[in-house]
Structure 1
Amino acid sequence: MPPHSLLQLIWLASPALPVGGFSYSEGLEAAIEWAGVQDEATASDWLIGQLHLSLAPGDLAVVAEATRAWRAMDMPRVRALNAWVFTTRESAEFLLQTEQMGRSFVEWLKLHHADAATCFDGVPATYPVAFAFAAARSGASVADGCLAFAFGWAENMTAAAVKAVPLGQSAGQRMLARLAQDIPAAVQDALARTDDTRQAFSPLLAILSARHETQYSRLFRS
């Protein structure tokens, strides 16, 4: 991979990117109260399950398809994928997350890509579709862009677990190492998905997200 492409992916995966990912736990905080997540082992198992059952067949598959669409400047395809993400948010919190992170990502993109404002004109972007735009412009392969997206998610979720369970930093690093081992397989799954096999159906996660809306003493927005 050319150095420029590698640096772009490192930048995109960084939790320091000003899109607000650190403020969401994606149901994990509710799982700590109601679904038995209570230590390093259960938190790690929860996130591994979420990676394979929710992220890979859903948002990660969208990143792969949207990256190809952005490279071809196939705007009908981009809009269709964007609409699919909006439609599949199963709680108000998940909808808020993809809207807010997508909007913040587009504002960041406008600082770095001259055509971003034009490309997103009239397209309220979801986070996976906005990320795919940056991945497409990086020159990296679709698979490498998906790896960056998945690792950025894993880093944010591990940080959420460290704060909310709570866990120590060493436990967080062990969890991140385990997630990193599983990410390549999740990316391969995402790359193989089509419109007929892409799916976003995680009933327990949706229920926990809805319960989180009224959870007492929350740290996170989802």
Structure 2
Amino acid sequence: MPDLANSRTAHSLLQLMWLASPALPIGGFSYSEGLEAAIEAGLVHDEASAADWLVHQLHLTQTRSDIAVIAQAIPAWRAGDDARVQALNDWVLVTRETSELRLQSEQMGQSLVAWLRNQHPGNVAVDTLAQLSGRTPSYPVAFALAASLTGAPLADCLLSYAFGWAENMVQAAIKAVPLGQSAGQRILARLASEIPAAVQAASLLENNERTAFSPMLAILSARHEHQYSRIFRS
């Protein structure tokens, strides 16, 4: 029987599960990333439409943007390439198409920095993240550092991020549509079946192939900023 008490693999896996957990104190539960505005506009109204919306968002926005950034930022953190990390962080912040989407990335990034400082006091890379040339640390770049410190393989780190995103978004759908817990689990199962392909696609993107072009999401997010009744911050 393997010695799990001294297994590096077990330690890395537990760290990734921790990073993916909704209990991580970074505020992910308070954002719907445009879903609430889609519900207000009648684009999402039941289990099927919520599942379709989230699957499309996974492939069209997360895969081509945040997961792709994390796929490139983890090797940069592990190589100590601060200039590359800075460039990726800058790209994330300047490509957020609305103020609330940028504020989400900044708030969650700063919260993750605080968590990392608590977990890894005195870590040079964490200090570097907190002082990115006048820029606020973005969440994808902060997550990339947290994942890189687990020592886990890149693919596992990306799967962890994607599942954590999916779980938060399903919880948002359950609250805002609203849906029952069983419906939420069916949506999460569908997302889980789509995540490996999304992660594979993101890991193969070249630097000039990343994109944050999601016009419908940008319009809905801009509308959400002035939505009369809402429970989420994005």
Q: Indicate whether the TM-score tops 0.5.
A: yes
Residue 199 of structure 1 is matched in structure 2 by 211
Which of 179, 183, 196 pairs up with 2:195? 183
Residue 221 of structure 1 is matched in structure 2 by 233
Q: Within the alignment, does 1:32 sit opposite 2:44 as a pair? A: no
Q: Within the alignment, does 1:75 sit opposite 2:82 as a pair? A: yes
Task: Give ranges in structure 2 of 5+ residues lacking alignment.
Answer: 1-7
Cα distance in structure 2, aligned partners of 1:174 and 1:197: 32
Instruction: Kindly state the Cα deviation for residue 119 of structure 1 after the two structures are TM-superposed.
Output: 2.1
Residue 173 of structure 2 is matched in structure 1 by 161
The 5-angstrom pairing of residues 56-71 of structure 1 reads 56-71=63-78
Cα distance in structure 2, aligned partners of 1:99 and 1:204: 22
Residue 57 of structure 2 is matched in structure 1 by 50
Residue 102 of structure 1 is matched in structure 2 by 109
| CA displacement, residues 1-56 of structure 1 (integer Å, 9 cap, x when unaligned) | 71000000000000000000000000000000115200000000000000000000
Instruction: Kindly state the Cα deviation for residue 196 of structure 1 after the two structures are TM-superposed.
Output: 1.3
Residue 118 of structure 1 is matched in structure 2 by 127
The 5-angstrom pairing of residues 123-162 of structure 1 reads 123=132, 124-162=136-174
Q: TM-score under structure 2 normalisation?
A: 0.93
Cα distance in structure 1, aligned partners of 2:129 and 2:221: 29
The 3-state SS of whatever aligns with 2:208 is coil
Q: Within the alignment, does 1:8 sit opposite 2:15 as a pair? A: yes
| CA displacement, residues 122-178 of structure 1 (integer Å, 9 cap, x when unaligned) | 222100000000111101111110000000000000000000000000000000000
Q: TM-score under structure 1 normalisation?
A: 0.98
Task: Give ranges in structure 1 of 5+ residues lacking alignment.
Answer: none
The 3-state SS of whatever aligns with 1:19 is coil
Q: When the two structures are aligned, how many residues end up with a matched partner? A: 222
| CA displacement, residues 77-126 of structure 1 (integer Å, 9 cap, x when unaligned) | 00000000001100010010000000000000001113154222422210
Larger Rg: 2
> Please, what is the CA RMSD of the aligned residues?
1.0
Cα distance in structure 1, aligned partners of 2:220 and 2:159: 27
Measured at CA, do residues 61 and 35 of structure 1 come closer, stay the same or move farther in structure 2, by a change above 3 Å? farther
- Are the equivalent residues in 1 in contact too, given 2:26–2:112 (CA < 8 A)? yes
Cα distance in structure 2, aligned partners of 1:92 and 1:122: 22
Q: Which amino acid aligns with 1:118?
A: D
Identity %: 64
